[in-house]
Structure 1
Amino acid sequence: MRILHTMLRVADLDKSIDFYTRILGMTLLRKHDYPEGKFTLAFVGYGREEENSVLELTYNWGVEEYELGTGFGHIAIGVNDIFKACEDIKKSGGNVIREPGPMKHGTTIIAFVTDPNGYKIELIQE
């Protein structure tokens, strides 16, 4: 068994695909419209779905905003150079909401960014 994907509902699919591909360096793996259901699914990730867990971005046609709720925490991504990653994200127009530094009560170096929908992504120095 393995985790296949995590689904996020997004309000602007093009903006979300741009963020995850251009700013975070993922690849758009596939995208399909479902006209009868009035939604589009786009799958993005760092490798093929057969070998990696990916994100499913779900756009429900006509929905412009979602409440994020209090149950969801964040997505975590390992990076080789967290300081460079944050600088690159800022230069690309991304939003770093916590600069790189040790986690509270620990030594792991982390940072946080948000995607266009407000979802938090934790960057962890590998």
Structure 2
Amino acid sequence: TMLRVKDPKKSVDFYRRLGMTVVAEKHFPDAKFSLYFLASNVADADVPDDPTTEEAVLAAGNLFQPVLELTHNHGTEDDADFKHYNGNEEGRQGFGHIGFLVDDVYQACDDIRELGYGFKKEPDGGNMKGLAFAWDPDGYPVEIIKRGGMDYQQKNVE
């Protein structure tokens, strides 16, 4: 999965709060963009400590875990009018959301709230309880689900 991001520092911090680790970074100053590769559950994976090395980029390509690629076009972080379309706007639909399994949905939501980001659906809101949809720094919807099984409760909807 690749997402375009406006401010990589904010986006990397957001996804770290969901348990991800930056496993590789690749910067292309002449082309004015950077790539950040993040993955979950990499404690036992063979990835270098320094994500900026060429070895880290190669290791990221050999992971069995899904890898999230954040693409940053340099300069967008300073442009107040710049906006990515998240694929959920009227006339621009397509992309739905990405989902993350976490150990504690409520703690993950507290961490996201602490960063100042909002929610499309809080864990106890709506018909399905125990899962959430947060907005990441670029407005992409992110589903947050409990690892080990979705133990949310669904009310009868008529």
The answer, yes or no, to whether TM exceeds 0.5 is yes
Q: Per-residue CA shift, 1:9-46, capped at 9, x if unaligned?
A: 1111121112112x323111111111232210011121
Please say if residues 108 and 124 of structure 1, whose CA atoms lie closer than 8 Å, have aligned partners that are also in contact.
no
**Which residue matches 1:54?**
67
Partner of 2:6: 11
Q: Which runs of 5+ in 2 are unaligned?
A: 46-59, 77-81, 88-92, 150-158
Tell me if 1:97 matches 2:88. no
- Aligned-partner SS, 2:106: helix
State the superposition RMSD in angstroms.
2.2
Q: 2:19 and 2:101 mapped to 1: Cα distance? A: 12
Contact kept, 8 Å, 2:18 with 2:100, in 1: the verdict is no
- 1:35 corresponding residue in structure 2: 29
Over 3 Å counting, the alpha-carbon distance change for 1:33 and 1:76 in structure 2 is same
Note closer, same or farther for the CA distance 1:102–1:79 as it changes in structure 2 (3 Å cut). Answer: farther
Residue 123 of structure 1: SS of its match in structure 2?
Answer: strand
Show the counterpart of 1:87.
110
Percent identical residues: 42
Which structure 1 residue ranges, 4+ long, deviate > 6 Å from structure 2?
none
Aligned length: 118
**Mapped contact 1:103–1:109 kept (Cα < 8 A):** no
Q: Measured at CA, do residues 66 and 92 of structure 1 come closer, stay the same or move farther in structure 2, by a change above 3 Å?
A: closer
CA distance in 1, matches of 2:114, 2:99: 21
Is the partner of 2:134 in helix, strand or coil? strand
TM-score (norm 1): 0.78
Give the structure with the higher percent strand. 1
Alpha-carbon distance, 1:96 to partner: 2.9
Residue number in structure 2 paired with 1:20: 15
> What TM-score comes out, normalization by structure 2 length?
0.64
Give the counterpart letter for 1:94 in structure 2.
Y
